[in-house]
Structures are given as structure tokens and as C-alpha cells.
Chain A
Amino acid sequence: MLTRIMSFCALLITSVSVTASPNIQQWQSSNGTPVWFFEAPQLPMVDIRLVFDGGAARDADKSGLALLTNSMLNEGTASMNTDEIADAFANVGARYSASAERDMAVLSLRTLNEHEAMEVALDTFTQILTSPSFPEASFQRLRNQMLTGLQAERQSPGAIASRAFQAGIYAEDHPYASMPAGHEQTLADISLEDIQAFYQRYYVAANAVVVIVGDLDRRQAEALAEQLLADLPKGTPADPLPVVAELSSGVVNHIEHPSSQTHIMVGQPGMTRHDPDYFPLYVGNHIFGGSGLVSLLSGEIREKRGLSYASYSFFRPTREAGPFQMVLQTRNDQAQEAHRVMMQTLSDFIENGPTQEQLEAAQQNITGGFALRLDSNSKIADYLAMMAFYQLPDDHLSRFNERVNAVTVEQIRDAFQRRLAPSRMLTVMVGGKTE
């Protein structure tokens, strides 16, 4: 009984994984957009990511514009209103979502690959992409919702700290200095014309990548990409972003907040997606603060001293340098101590680097866990979208483990010494009195 369906199914299910056989296919659509495709025939569904270089980095002086534009797309098209769009997706069980982060503006669709369902979902998705009508009523409502979102932010010490940190590590006029969620004043300044102009500038074929993952063959995927992109103007790629300047001196920014904990964020500009030090910094940070409970930072803060529930660090590699950031939260009266331990742990790591044993443990963890990062269609789609958007080399996946294993203790120490400067870091503390 136990094996009755097993043997039947074993015949039907074939084992395909990104890592076992990197059968990722790439081509260009007829209007020049890169298309990345991974065939995953095991589930009767399709995931699509359409990524534009139209994130908050393109807001210029109207912080929030990228996100507002992105969330306006499914509010109306030449032939459908908001309700009709929502129903069209829901009627066939499809899921549409959209987001705008620092670099990327993303439109996502998940649909069953059943012929009729997929046709309806794709038609609607294509209309949203190519003929949004940007209704005035939706514009006012969504802007109000963003204002509500800003209020919610102000009752969260972690969110307040994130905003202050981002603003503090970049020059005031750098596109990374403001938050995708915008700001009261800038939101008030945004007009419907701004949104239309933003859409026309950035939602174009030359500024996009497409990722398709799912139960389709190459021919079907090609047709799908053509359908999506056919009516999208070619346009031009977004301009290069300004290079990020280093911080010139250490700054401490203490923001009063009526909370029992102080949220501490310390850091500086970090690295780009194409950084020559990418692997030493990535593996080094994994050891220092990027591997959860087994990281050095968590060991010192949480395991040895019980000072915080979540203490960690990360590099967020983006088009231009994203932050290197250390984070913890602790009871107000021990914030100074926790901050001291955090900085001491970082200084020690920069000075000494990891031990050979720590490095090997990290390499085992990263390389041994590689398959875990790509064990679902949605993870594969996200990963490919990242690769396609940042134009990572084709061998990024196939040589990832090799590159991680090639990192040495000396490389990590050298990279951390050159790239991180604790005396010139920004410290943001949000909370009550810390003495």
C-alpha cells in the first residue's frame, strides 16, 4: 500500500534542477530585450518577472515616484478599470504583483499554464504593461495609502532607523539617499504627469529584462515574451547612476522614540553587484554576521551575552554601492554596551580576519546549501531576475561554488581592511534614553 502510487509517479516525475543541469536559456526578444527562461515542467504553472531599471534610484527629486508609478499600472488600462483587472486575474486563479525597490521595478505574474487561463492572464498582464490609463481617482487614493504607510513607519523604531541610516550613508543628492516609500513633501509634489512621464521613460524594452520559469517549452516561452514586449516602445536604457562617495567621518545620530528597545544600525557604503571584492566580502560577511545564529556577531551579542534577539550584518550589493550594515535591537539601558560589543567584534574581525576553520565552515555552508537557494520556481525566478538585471556573467551559477571555495583568509582580511572603516561609519540609534 505504501508504495502503490509511488511507483506509478516515479515514472512521471523527472528530476530537473538548476544546479544539476543548468539548462537556463537566454535570447533576445525581437525588440532587443534579454529573455531568460528556465523550463520547469513538474508543476502546471508559469512564473514571469518583468524587471525594469525603474526603481527608487530613478525618483530624482520626487521620492516615491517609482513606487507610485509601479502601483498605478494595474489601476486601469485602455479597456479595463481596476475592478475588471482584478477580476480578470482572479477568475483564472492568476496572481499579479508589482514592486519597486532601490534599483528594480518588478511586475510579476504567476498563472496556471492551462490554455484558457494563461491566455486571459497574459492578455491582462500585457495590457497593464503596455496601455495603463493612470486614472486620477486611483492616483489620489494610492498616494493617500502611501501617506498612511509613512505614518505606520513612524511608529516602528526599526523603520525609522532604516530610513535615517539610508539617508546618512549617502550624500543628500545621491539617488540612494531616499526611501522607495517616499516622503510627505515629495509625495505632495508628484503629479499624474510625473507618473506618466516616469512610465514612458523607464517602462521600455531597452530598459527591461524578462524571466520566465515554468511548464512551457522554448517555443511557447518565445511566443510569450514576444506577446509581452511587442507593444512596448524600444526606448533607451536608464542613465548610469552616480558613483557613491565614501563617508568622510564617523557620525552618531540618536533619534528619540518612545520604545523600550533601542534599534542600532551601524555601517557605511558597501559594494556593487560587480565589485571585484564581491566574493571575499560576501564570504567574510557570512562568517561575521551573515549566517544567523552561527555568525560571530550573533555569537558575541546573543549567544554569549543575551543582549539581542536579532543581531546580524549584510552587504546589499546593488547597481552602485549598496550599504554594509550591522543591526541589533536591545533594551534601552544596555544599548551602549551592545554597541560597544558590536564595534569591538567588527574591529577584531577586520584586524584578524577569520580563522581557517571559520572560513571552511562558511564555505561548507554556502556551497553545501547552494541547491537550497534554487529549490522552487519562485526562488529560481527571483535569482534569474537578479542575474539578468545586473548582467552577471553566464557562468555565475555554474562557477559560484568554485569562487566561494577559492576565497582565502588573507583575501577576506585584506578586503575588509581596505573596504570597511569603523571610525568613519554612521551609527543610528532609535529608542529611549540609553544610559
Chain B
Amino acid sequence: MRNLKKWFLVTWLVMPLLVMADPVEYQLDNGLKLIVKPDTRSPVVVSQVWYKVGSSYEYNGITGISHMLEHMMFKGTENLEPNEFSRIIAANGGSENAFTSRDYTAYFQTLERDRLAVSFRHEADRMQNLLLDEAELLKEKEVVAEERRMRTDDNPRGLLYEAFSATAFMNSPYHHPVIGWMVDIEHYTIEDLQRWYDKWYAPNNATVVVVGDVDPEEVYQLALKYFGPVEAREVAVLKPQTEVPQNGKRYIEVRAPAELPSLMMGWKVPVIKTADIEWEPYALDVLAAVLDSGSSGRFARQLVRGEQVAAGVSARNNAFARLDEVFIISGTPAQGRTIEELKAAIMAQIETLQTSLVSEEELHRIKTQVIASSVYEQDSLFYQGMQIGILETIGLDWRLSDAYVDNINAVTAEQVLAVAQKYFVDHRLTVGELTPVSADENHSPANANGGHHAN
């Protein structure tokens, strides 16, 4: 009876989504893809331009260049002064920014719905007419160096994550940080950036995603007008850089001036894009939710509240990536507990998943939460755009986001057990530990970096 009621809930939940309009897809003759998702709740529109380029397209010596180029995209074109793009968007009541990740670079504006043309006009402009200026680059390299110091060098957990990724991934480009190594940031040249821009910034390597109170056909006409004339270019062919097999457990210690130890454990796993067995990434998502779904997950219940071995501990599976990923568990020991105790407690949790089936009740709970999330997510125009943009840019069909709920619903307890046994093994594991040291003991690059600059 209880279960029947829950299943009723699950079917009820899927119904209301029908009132949200489906996205509409177009392709321009120059190869640019346009996806429009109407959402009429507010007189607002989000416009995002996604390029298939990010730090996983980079190689040693120029790491972080996708992110650097993202900064330079605000520094003027043949038609606009440096920062004029930002001023124009501001004067139109908009907000704007950009972000770079491993698999994508995206630019976005949020505007009142009748201002969409402003976004399209200037995005089309900087897609083809970027002016890379030597003096602007010099300043912006300093800005990015400061960004790196703030996010990573002076942030012990940032340092741990960076060292962890560089250890877990040997030849996969997920090895290097999105922002790049400091020495690479210091040595970009105008030619490096021009080459990167010419290589990847083309309409046939871009997806425009528009979400908001708009008519798809009108957006299409606008796109034809502004993006239509941009000429298609030959886009570089990406080398596979498939990660070599891992032959044993890896361990990395980061000693940094810090107050708290921190632990990061990661197991190599396939993602939706790379999986030979289609359901496995979804089973790994369910497994992550069994361990960590806020206050009701096993970690919160057993490690934080029960054993009180962790002050906080989380599990994360990123199924939406271009290349194989690591399933990451990270945490901080509770007061008076050690990294070793936390590690043992996490391993015990993994062992339980490998030896006993997740209960029907837990499985139902997780599925209900996923379905509820799919409703809640629609509260954010920006997030709706993100979902479409990420899928499209990593080379998946954006319609997969609609299928996500069904794919999670199809996961069985046996499948969770199977992925736990298959992937949570030592020859896929990397362990990273942050060991706090006093400031005097510290020889971290954070302190060395300060003196390297000429100006």
C-alpha cells in the first residue's frame, strides 16, 4: 500500500511537465545550431552562446588558454572598444558573464525579452571580429593570475583538488586545471590566443541556447539576421587523449598552511558519452544519491550523525562529461577524528554497497527526489539553458535531459550493486589528502608566486 502510493506520486509528477513548451531546434546554413525553449513565466530571456572548447581541448604549455580567451572576448572587436560589450548590455538593463569549464566555454546575457537582438548582434560580432590587443592581454594576464591566486593558490582545498586531478588523470586532459598552471598563464602570447580563437570560434562549432518568453520562430529569424552572415570555418579535429589504463592505487599528499585536514577519493568511471553499457552512468548517479542526498543520505545519517566521524562528506558523480570521469567522495573529519578514520568509514560504506542491495525504500526515495528536482529546476531559466548547452556541447543530444528522469527510474538495486563492484576497486582509485602545516613550514607555490612578476 505504501509503495503503491509512492508509485502513484511518481506518475503524477511527470504529468505537469507537459505544460512547459518543448525546446525547438534549428540549424543555420553556416552550421550554427540554435535551440529555443519557451518559458513565458516572466518577460525575460536568457541567451547563451556555447563553444565546443575548454580546458580539455588544451595541452601542456598553453593550459588555461580557453579561459584566458574567454576574458579577452570582452576586450573589443573591430566594432567595439574594450569592455564596450559589457557597457552596452548594462545600458540595456541586462546582466552578462561567461564561464569556462573543461568541456565548454559559454557566454550569456539575461535581458528583458525584447532586447534579445542586442545580445545576438554583439555575440555574432565577437564570434568573428575579435581584436586581440597586446596591452590588453598584458593586463588581463595579471587579472587571471589574481583569479588563480584567489581560487586555488590561497585556497587549501583548491590546491588539493588540483593535485588530485593531476594525479588521477595521467594523460587525459582532465589532468590540468581549467584556469591553467601559473607558469602557462604567465607566458601566453597574442599569437597563442589568435590561434586558439581561429581554431575553435566558428558558427559551426557553436550552439546558441535561448530560454524565456520568446517565440522560437522570431528568435530563428533574429539568428538568421545576425549569426547567418558569419562564415563557417574549418574547425580543428580534436585528438582523442583517452586516459591510459590505471594499474594501481594512487596517492597524493598536499601540505599547505591550513587548519583542517581534507580527504578526496576518486574512482575512474565511464560517463554517458563514453559508457559501453548505457545504464551504468545512471546507476552511478543513483549510487551517489544513496550515499549523499542531503540530510537523508547514508553519509549524513551514518558518518555525520551516527559514527560522527565526518564534519561533512559528499559524493559526486558527473555523468555529463566528454571523457571518462572520477566519481569523487570528499570530506573533512569531525572534531577529534582523523583522516584515517574517515577513510575507513567511507570504505566500509563502499563495501556495504558492494555486498548488499540498496533497499526498495531508499531507491524509491531517490527516484522521487530526482523527479521533484526536475520540476524545481524549471524555476531557473538559466539552469534550463545550462542543461541544453552542456549536453549539446559535450556531444550528446539535448533531449537526453528529458530522458534523464526515465533513465534514473529504470535503475535497479542489482545495477547499483553491479557498478559498486565493478568500479569501486583499487586500480581505479586515487586518494588525495590535505595535510595542514604551519605557515613557517610552508614552501607552497602560493608563496613563491608573489615574486615572479615584473610589474
What are the interface flags for B422-451 relative to A under an 8 Å C-beta threshold, 1 for contact and 0 otherwise? 000000000000001001001000110111
Instruction: Pick the interface stretch among B170-178, B257-265, B317-325.
Output: B257-265
Contact of A144 among B146, B311, B381 (CB under 8 A): B311
* A258 adjacent to chain B (CB < 8 Å): yes
Cβ–Cβ contact A303 & B146, under 8 A:
no
CB distance from B133 to the nearest CB of A (A): 13
Instruction: Pick the interface stretch among B200-208, B280-288, B368-376, B390-398.
Output: B368-376
Task: Kindly state the separation between the CA atoms of A82 and B311 in the bound complex, as whole angstroms.
Answer: 16
Contact of B257 among A9, A83, A155, A303 (CB under 8 A): A155
Q: Which residue, B16, B301, B304, B449, has most C-beta atoms of chain A within 10 A?
A: B16
Considering the complex, which residues of chain A in the window 1-49 have a beta carbon less than 8 Å from any beta carbon of chain B?
A: 2-3, 5-6, 9-10, 12-20, 40, 42-45
CB distance from A114 to the nearest CB of B (A): 5
Chain B: CB-nearest residue to A372:
B110
Contact of B38 among A6, A14, A96, A432 (CB under 8 A): A6
What are the interface flags for B348-379 relative to A under an 8 Å C-beta threshold, 1 for contact and 0 otherwise? 00000000000000001100110111011011
Q: Chain A residues near B150: list those with CB within 8 A.
A: 158, 261, 309-310, 329
Cβ–Cβ contact B95 & A369, under 8 A:
yes
Instruction: Pick the interface stretch among A84-92, A231-239, A384-392, A413-421.
Output: A84-92
* A253 adjacent to chain B (CB < 8 Å): no
Cβ–Cβ contact A259 & B93, under 8 A:
no
Chain A: CB-nearest residue to B26:
A2
Task: Kindly state the separation between the CA atoms of A238 and B284 in the bound complex, as whole angstroms.
Answer: 49
* A331 adjacent to chain B (CB < 8 Å): yes
Chain B: CB-nearest residue to A376:
B379
Chain A: CB-nearest residue to B8:
A116
Cβ–Cβ contact B447 & A258, under 8 A:
yes
Q: Which residue, B38, B111, B143, B308, has most C-beta atoms of chain A within 10 A?
A: B143
Beyond A6-B38, A141-B308, whether A333 also contacts B146 by CB under 8 A is no
Chain B: CB-nearest residue to A91:
B365
Task: Kindly state the separation between the CA atoms of A341 and B156 in the bound complex, as whole angstroms.
Answer: 30
Chain A: CB-nearest residue to B302:
A83
CB distance from A138 to the nearest CB of B (A): 8
Count of chain B residues near A, Cβ 8 A: 95
Cβ–Cβ contact A260 & B142, under 8 A:
no
- How many CB-defined contacts (below 8 Å) exist between A and B? 268
Count of chain A residues near B, Cβ 8 A: 92
Q: Chain A residues near B12: list those with CB within 8 A.
A: 114
Cβ–Cβ contact B375 & A371, under 8 A:
no
Instruction: Pick the interface stretch among A58-66, A146-154, A243-251, A344-352.
Output: A146-154
* B184 adjacent to chain A (CB < 8 Å): no
* A211 adjacent to chain B (CB < 8 Å): no
Considering the complex, which residues of chain A in the window 305-341 have a beta carbon less than 8 Å from any beta carbon of chain B?
A: 305-310, 329-333
Chain B: CB-nearest residue to A377:
B379
Cβ–Cβ contact A94 & B439, under 8 A:
no
* A365 adjacent to chain B (CB < 8 Å): yes
* A110 adjacent to chain B (CB < 8 Å): yes
- Ranked nearest first, the 5 interchain pairs of A and B with the lowest CB-CB distance are A368-B93, A93-B372, A306-B139, A306-B142, A258-B439
Chain A residues packing against B (C-beta within 8 Å): 2-3, 5-6, 9-10, 12-20, 40, 42-45, 74, 82-83, 85-87, 89-96, 110, 112, 114, 116-117, 138, 141, 144-145, 147-148, 151-152, 154-158, 257-261, 291-294, 299, 302-310, 329-333, 361, 364-372, 374-378, 432
Task: List, sorted by A's number, 10 A–B pairs whose CB atoms are closer than 8 Å.
Answer: A15-B213, A90-B296, A112-B375, A141-B304, A259-B446, A361-B91, A368-B91, A369-B93, A375-B42, A376-B381
Besides the known contacts A260-B447, A303-B139, A309-B143, 18 further A-B residue pairs in the complex with CB atoms under 8 A apart:
A6-B21, A9-B21, A12-B19, A45-B379, A83-B301, A95-B294, A141-B304, A145-B334, A148-B335, A261-B149, A306-B143, A307-B142, A308-B146, A361-B90, A368-B93, A370-B93, A371-B42, A372-B110
